Chains A and B, each alone.
Chain A
Amino acid sequence: MSNLFAEPTRQSPVAIILLIYKYFINIIRQFWPAIIAVFIGQRSGNVSNLILISVIVVAVSALIFAIASYLRFSFKVQGDELFIEKGVFKKSKLNIPFERIQTLNFEQGLLHQIFDVVRIEVDTAGSAKNEFSFNAIQKNLAEELRTLILERKTEIEVVEPSEQAEDLPIKEELKTIFSLDLKDLFIVGLTQNHLRTLVLLFFFALWGMGELSDAGFDLDWINKESATALIESGVVIILSLVFILLILIILGTAIRTILTYYEFKMFRTDKGFKIQSGLLNRKEYAALDYKIQQIKWVNNPLKRIFKIHHLQLKQASSIAVSSKKSIKVPGINLSKINEIVKYLFRDKNNYSELETHKISVLYLYRNLAYIGILPWVIIFGMVFYITNRPESYFILLAIPYFSITTWFAYRKWAFRINDDLIYTHHGIFENKNNLVQLYKIQNVQIHQSPFQWRRNLANIRMFTAAGSVLIPYVKYEEALKIKDLVLYQIETNELKWY
């Protein structure tokens, strides 16, 4: 095959625009309180020139930087390596051997789609230093590059037959195993945890107000009088405000869900999975079977109505566990999940047929005392002692709430284990399911608090390369047994785990 990339090649000039955008966003992100402060201060004098000058300086320097880094960036293919030169002030050269490249992920934002370019993320097996991305490369060129790398890569790997072929040429025919249409997406958007968004928004608003008043905003009108006025104007108004906000949040989430997961498709490749999704920003991610460390699926009361789950296939990553490395599948039902699990476990095991174990009931008693009751009694006591106001009794309302959630948590805790896998199920309002192949575990920890060792109980935690699995309040002897079983599986298994 002829080498299109023998000579140093630059990215598409579109990269300049993207870089300017990136720098601008970065600058604004760093200095936004200052920027707002400058705008506020405008009234108090002759600052408008200053603003104009600083805007021009920022814009020009972003432009110069973008052009310089575009000109300084080049890549070529040399032998069996991808060779990259970059850096404006500090020149750096990067060699990425093909056999180290795990996958090339393509991504297209709106701008990318207009100019028919793609962003490439090169995912390597090595350290974070070698993770690498191209900002914008012409699409046909990018595809050329991908085929070139993957072909060379398989050639190398044929020489060493012991190595598994790591990735496949993408052109191979793929089997669609799961897809979402607009109706599914709407349900997914509808059933997100909107209350959490509301609470987050509330705290964000509080934080933002702090920031803004730091920046010199006049926020005094929000204080006491306006607040009491608001409360006096009636619970109805507050409730309807919350209601409107909730509707807005639901709409927003629905739109966001549709944007991110539009035309979601999941494929089964020879040795892994691949997903494609997105409306404005079309993304494509791949995960190989042996890199998947944990299989997680969650539902909430709303999702339960529609019998759907949110599935995550968590991958081992060279960088510390990042959400980007896991494949997310929204709105998937249990039978589809079991199908995917079957692919991964090669039909060997059915976790759902194993015997279910519960955790010790002392988990309930202990948490009832220490989460459900004691802290609230103490807080109530202190508040009542200090303020001596009858409103303090409201604090005691926390007791039934936290007692009930503790009871839910205890009731839901369950796990299943055999000599291939461990499955845990827990949650309070949600149902969190977690499935791990034993040989994917890195190490095992047993913890005992004074309460636990006096009653011969223990927590056992198993770490994988993508997060850990915890089982609380099992008998100490059982924890030891689980630990030895897991260790035995790790130590006798020679399957590749990363």
Chain B
Amino acid sequence: MDGFSNVQIQLEEIPSLGELNYVPLERKYLNILLLNSLLVFIISIVLLVYLWTVIDKQWFQNNFQWMLVGLLALFVLQFLFAYKSFSYKAYGFREADITYKSGWLWRSITTVPFNRVQHCEVSQGVLDRYFGLAKLKIFTAGGSASDVSIPGLLLDQASDLKEFILEKIKTDE
């Protein structure tokens, strides 16, 4: 593919996203991710044990230990995945837009220009509140698939960012 020669020249004046310095999420957010997968693990163990006491089928009784092992293996994988993908989550600001990237195996980068933001929202889950973290959600007219939510921000930071974006929207109008 040799294209883009005509575009390339114009692009040189445009600030490239490469110049963007990504800011990693709060380290504490990793705890939330890991706690979440631990919670799911505990719930599924409890469920399995409950089923073990209820279901009176031979094949289930015989293979119970293997199911436990399988569940444990899944958990280890999920734990690793959460740990690994945390380091790929980051966000970055430029003068006129905000970028959020995530994903270890399936990677994605989303950029929202401030002059297309419809509204922003700061939300906190139960675990978020315990760690003093918050999530910043940015909505555009592009529909729910394109909305950006940046987790793992300090609460003050998230509200500051929200104020900053809202201020930007106002000055645009």
Contacts and interface: CB of A to CB of B under 8 A. Distances in A.
Interface of A: 316, 320-321, 355, 357-360, 417-419, 441-450, 453, 463-465, 468, 474-475, 478, 480-481, 483-485, 487-488, 490-491, 497-498
B62 interface: no
* Minimum-distance CB pairs A-B, first 7: A463-B142, A442-B142, A463-B146, A491-B96, A465-B141, A357-B3, A442-B140
Contacts of B113: 443, 487, 490-491
B126 interface: no
Contact of B146 (A417, A443, A447, A485): A443
B8 A481 contact: yes
A468 B145 CA distance: 10
Interface stretch (B66-74, B100-108, B155-163): B100-108
Contacts of B115: 490-491
A487 B97 contact: yes
Interface string B1-13: 1011011101100
Contacts of B6: 355, 418
A491 B97 contact: yes
Given A359-B1, A443-B146, A487-B113, 6 more contacts: A357-B1, A468-B145, A485-B10, A485-B11, A487-B111, A490-B113
B16 A480 contact: yes
B172 to A, nearest CB: 8
Interface residues on B, range: 35 or more
9 contacts: A321-B143, A355-B3, A358-B1, A442-B140, A450-B106, A463-B146, A468-B145, A481-B7, A490-B115
B121 to A, nearest CB: 16
A417 B145 CA distance: 24
Nearest to B10: A419
A443 B108 contact: no
B31 interface: no
B17 A443 contact: no
B116 interface: yes
B122 interface: no
Contacts of B107: 447-448, 453
A468 B142 CA distance: 8
A498 B4 contact: no
B105 A450 contact: yes
B165 to A, nearest CB: 13
Contacts of A487: 17, 96-97, 111, 113
A445 B7 contact: no
B82 interface: no
B14 A446 contact: no
A453 B106 CA distance: 9
B106 A443 contact: no
Contacts of A444: 110-111
A481 B7 CA distance: 9
B106 to A, nearest CB: 6
Nearest to B100: A445
Interface string B112-147: 111110000000000000000000000011110110
Contact of A447 (B11, B106, B116): B106
A443 B3 contact: no
Interface in B26-50: none
B11 A481 contact: yes
B19 to A, nearest CB: 10
B150 interface: no
Contact of B7 (A442, A446, A485): A485
Contacts of B142: 442-443, 463-465, 468
B146 A468 contact: yes
A227 to B, nearest CB: 35
A443 B110 contact: yes
A71 B103 CA distance: 58
A420 to B, nearest CB: 11
A448 B106 contact: yes
Nearest to A360: B1
Contacts of A447: 106-108
A484 B14 CA distance: 7
Contacts of A498: 141
A290 to B, nearest CB: 13
B168 to A, nearest CB: 11
Given A442-B140, A490-B116, A357 B4 contact: yes
Contacts of A450: 105-106
A357 B110 CA distance: 23
Contacts of B96: 487, 491
A478 B107 CA distance: 16
Contacts of A475: 1
Contacts of A474: 1
Given A357-B4, A358-B1, A481-B7, A443 B116 contact: yes
Given A320-B143, A468-B146, A481-B4, A445 B109 contact: yes
Nearest to B138: A443
Given A418-B6, A443-B140, A463-B142, A484 B1 contact: no
Contacts of A321: 143
Contacts of A485: 7, 10-11, 14
B150 to A, nearest CB: 14
Nearest to B13: A488
A355 B1 CA distance: 12
B145 A463 contact: yes
A417 B7 contact: yes
A449 B108 CA distance: 9
A463 B7 contact: no
